[in-house]
Amino acid sequence: QSALTQPASVSGSPGQSITISCIGTSRDIGAYNYVSWYQQHPGKAPKLMIYEVTTRPSGVSNRFSGSKSGNTASLTISGLQPEDEAYYYCCSYTNILTAKTLAVFGGGTKVTV
Amino acid sequence: EVQLVESGGGLVKPGGSLRLSCAASGFTFSPAWLTWVRQAPGKGLEWVARIKTGGPADYAAPVKGRFIISRDDSKNTVSLQMNSLKKEDEGVYYCVLGIPRHWDDAFDIWGQGTMVTVSS
C-alpha cells in the first residue's frame, strides 16, 4: 500500500486540462512544501516535472503546474497532448524518524489522452 | 552531460546477495547526495536509501539492516550492497541525483535502471 493516494487513472481529450490529486497526511504533504511530481513512459526512467510544490525544472513545459492545499497536492496538465500519455507519480519528503522512509511516493496515475 | 549508469543487477536466489553500482559523470560528485529508488514489476516507485556527503546514510524500513549504501568519491561511484534478498526486493533499481540543495525532494537525474530478479 502506497503512502500517498492517487487515482488509478485520469483521461482527457487533446487540448483539455486534467488534474491529478495526491492525498497524503499531516506528516508528509501537510508538513512540508516538498512535493514533487514525476512522469514515466513505459520502459523509461521517471522524469522530474515539478518540485517544491510548484517549481518546474528547466525544460519542462509550462502546461504542467502544481499546487497544494492542506494534505492534498495536485498536478494540472493543460492543453493535453498525445505525448502526455504516461504514468504520473507524486512524492513528498517526510520525516525518516517517524515515517521510516525519507520520501514517500504515490501509487501512480495512468493518464490517457 | 550529467549521467548515472547502473550495473550489477541480475538473478539471485532468495536469501542471496547482490551488489549494485552506479557510475556518475558530468557533475561534481563529492558534494552530491545520491539516492536509490526501486520499482517492482508493474508497481510504483519506492525510496530505498540515500547517502550524504562524507558517508552518512539513511534507509527505508523494509531494507534497513539488509542493504548498505556506500560511495567512493575517488571513483565517482555509489553502490548498494543487498543482502538477505527477498522476493519483495525484486524490481528495477534506479540511481538518482537530486537538484542541489534539494537532494532529498527533487529527484532530477535518473539512471536507466538495473533489474534485480529474486527467484529460486
Say if the Cβ atoms of A47 and B111 lie within 8 Å.
no
pLDDT digits (tens, 9 = 90+) for B33-55: 999 999 999 999 999 999 998 87
In percent, how much of chain A has pLDDT > 90?
Answer: 91
What integer best gives the mean pLDDT of chain B? 96
Say if the Cβ atoms of B105 and A52 lie within 8 Å.
yes
Task: Count how many residues are written for chain B.
Answer: 120
Measured CA to CA, the distance from residue A53 to residue A83 in angstroms comes to: 23
State the nearest Cα–Cα gap between A81 and chain B, in angstroms: 23
pLDDT digits (tens, 9 = 90+) for A51-72: 999 999 999 999 999 999 999 9
Measured CA to CA, the distance from residue A17 to residue B94 in angstroms comes to: 31
Q: Identify the band that residue A12 occupies on the pLDDT scale cut at 50, 70 and 90.
A: very high
Lookup: cell for B47: 525510496
